[in-house]
Structure 1
Amino acid sequence: MRITGIDHLVLTVFSIEATIDFYSRVLGLDVVTFGTGRTALLLGDQKINLHEASAPIRPHAARPVPGSADLCLIVVGEVDAVVARLAEENTSVEFGPVDRTGARGPIRSLYVRDPDQNLIELAFYDTARGCGAD
């Protein structure tokens, strides 16, 4: 067997509507509906499926609870511009910018919280060093 990537992951949330609002309005992700009224957030050729905590879709994690995720999302753009955008949306940067190491090399990261208090790392690859996200 050879695993080549991630197709999707699942976030268990208190409110799908609040989650959609944050990820689409603040972070700019596209929202899709699929199946029988299911909702997902698109990130390139991956997605984040949303399950409401009051009605998780089977099968599901052994203990699906809102606020237990720690995600790193790749951002294309300038860190300062994203900090300004977050401020416009009244979204606090909890930590950063700070240097970290991503799957493809050095990144510069900001950390924010979504409506369920999941930790969301916004990671910027340095395209000048050939590690670009596009």
Structure 2
Amino acid sequence: MNTATARYAGNLRTEATHTASGNTILTDAPVDNHGRGEAFSPTDLVSAALGSCMMTIMGIVAERLNVDLTNATYDVTKHMAAEPRRIRQIDVQFQLPATLSSKERATLENAARTCPVALSLNPEIRQEVQFEYVG
């Protein structure tokens, strides 16, 4: 079974439907590349996918460690290169509970850095990942 089905909706927009769930994602070209910037751009989705994958893998590991990461947050910032137009760097800043032990922190940080998306991105895309322990 395919992962998604998508269609070009016109005006530099696409609509992708996740086959298993029926959920949809709209994309729009960014303002700096002829679009309206009214939805995620495809490169925004790549960047968001990196943060989401890292958090998901940390969540899997946290369950195994009996650690609750509920309400942990992260911010993602994408940096583009002009020639050729491509993602040159993705910054991910996690805010995790201060109550984590040093061993838990090291285990979770390693899990994030070795998530499938992080390992799948072209090595020329710099991944700057920071962990802040708050609360």
Fold shared, TM-score > 0.5 on shorter chain: no
Task: Return the structure number with greater helix share.
Answer: 2
Higher relative contact order (CA 8 A, sep 6+): 1
The structure whose Rg is larger is 2
TM-score by length of 2: 0.30
